[in-house]
Structure 1
C-alpha cells in the first residue's frame, strides 16, 4: 500500500529552493514535462507551482534566506502545525521557521531533526498539497540520509507516529500501514561534508530515458540507473544548480 493523497504524517509536497529559478523552470519542464505558474502577488516572493496538466506536483522558489542551499525540501502533512512544531523541539529537533500562515492556503513551519535534516510541516487549508502521487512525473518516495539511523528511528515515530519496518538492510517508513519513504546511512563512502538530508524521488515511466534526458538538459548523474533487489529501478541526479533528487520506475515496489 502506498500514499495516494495528502495524509497526515506523510509527505504531501516538495519545494525546490534554487539560485536560478528561471533556469530551474526550463530544466524540470524538459525532464518531467512540468508546467510553471508563478504567483503574481509580491508577498508570494516568486513562489511557482509546477503542475502536470491540471495537477500540482511541486514548487520552485528563490532562495529566501542568507546561506540557504539550493536543495529540495520535503513537506509532511499535519493537522496542527503548532502542535507538531512543539513535538519537534521536544524530540530534540530544531525549528528554523516558526509556524506561520500562508495567505488562506495553509500554515507551515520549517524544522530540522536531531541530526540536522531539514523538512517542513504543512497544515492545509485551501491547498492540501500535491494532487498526484506515484504517477510518472510526480512524487513517489522520500528518503532520509543520516549518520545516526538509531536516533532517527526514535525521532520520527515520536513526532509523526510513523512505524519503521526493516526490509533486509533498508528501513522503510509508513503511516497507518502505507509506506511512503525510507532511510539510508551516510557512511565512509559519503564525504564528511554531506549533511543529513531528505531526498525526494519522482516516479517515471522510463528511468534510463529520464536519466539520459536529465543529463542532456544540463544535470549530472550521481547514481546510474540501478535495479534495487525486490524493488524499483532507480537513479540519482543533480540538477544544473546543484539540487539532488532521485527517480524511480513508476511500476516498481516499495
Structure 2
C-alpha cells in the first residue's frame, strides 16, 4: 500500500489543474475536509491541500493551452533528464521540462497511449497517504495494458502481477525494490467503455464511500460509477469534481491478520 517512504518509481506527488481554483478548493473542502493553503501570487496560483496541517495534494490553475481539468500523478525519479530520454525512446512525449522546481526538478509527459503523468526529482513529497481522505492508490486505464506495462518498466523498472477482477485481468504494480506486495501502489486496467480515455486515476481512501458520493452530488460534482463492492478490495466509487476532473474513492476492506 502507498506510503511516504518514497523510492524510485513511487507515486510521490499529486496535483489538480483546475479552471477555477477557488471553486475546486471549496469542493474538496466540502467532500474531504481538506484545507487549502495558497502559496500566493508569486507561485502562480499554486497551493497545497492539507489535512490537519499535512500536505495531501496540491492545486493550481491550468497552464497548458486547451488543457482540461485533471489530476496529475507524479512519480519519483532519480534523474529527470534520463527519465525524459526514456519516455522519448519509448514513443511517449515530453509536455513540460525537465525544469527546476525549488531544490528539485520536474517534468510532465504523455505516455504512448495518451495518459498524462509527471516525475519529480526532489526530497519533497506528500506528507500523508493511505489513511482517510488521502491518496491510497493510482490506477492507469489504457487500451493496451501489456504495452503500458512495458513502457513504464522501461522508465521505472516496475514489477506487475496479474489478478482476476470482475470482467477483466487486472495488473497490480509495485516498485522495483523490496517486497512486491509491500511495494504495491497501483494497477493497470483496460478501458471501460467507448467513452473512457486513457488516464491515471487517483483513489482516495475514505471511511464511507456512499457518504462521499452524496457529498459529491451535493457540491456540484458528478457520479460516474456509484459506490459498489469489489471482492477482496473494498467499496469503490468513480466521481468527478465540478471541473470534470476524474477521481475515485475506496473504503478498503479491513486487513486480515
Q: TM-score range by the shorter chain?
A: over 0.9
TM-superposed deviation, 1:3: 2.6
CA distance in 2, matches of 1:7, 1:204: 25
TM-superposed deviation, 1:250: 4.3
Aligned residue number for residue 35 of structure 1: 35
TM-superposed deviation, 1:41: 4.4
Alignment of 1:14-29 (within 5 A): 14-29=14-29
Aligned residue number for residue 246 of structure 2: 244
Aligned residue number for residue 137 of structure 1: 133
* Preserved CA contact (<8 Å) 1:233 1:252: no
In the superposition, the TM-score normalised over structure 2's length comes to 0.92
CA distance in 2, matches of 1:40, 1:18: 16
TM-superposed deviation, 1:217: 1.2
Aligned residue number for residue 179 of structure 1: 184
CA distance in 2, matches of 1:41, 1:16: 17
Query: Any unmatched runs of 5+ in structure 1?
Result: none
Cα displacement string for residues 139-175 of structure 1 (whole angstroms, at most 9, x for unaligned residues): 0000101011121021011111101110112111111
* Preserved CA contact (<8 Å) 1:136 1:250: no
* Preserved CA contact (<8 Å) 1:13 1:76: yes
Which residue, out of 193, 213, 216, partners 1:214? 216
In the superposition, the TM-score normalised over structure 1's length comes to 0.93
Aligned residue number for residue 196 of structure 1: 198
CA distance in 1, matches of 2:160, 2:217: 34
Q: Secondary structure at the match of 2:226?
A: strand
Query: Any unmatched runs of 5+ in structure 2?
Result: none
Q: Secondary structure at the match of 1:73?
A: strand
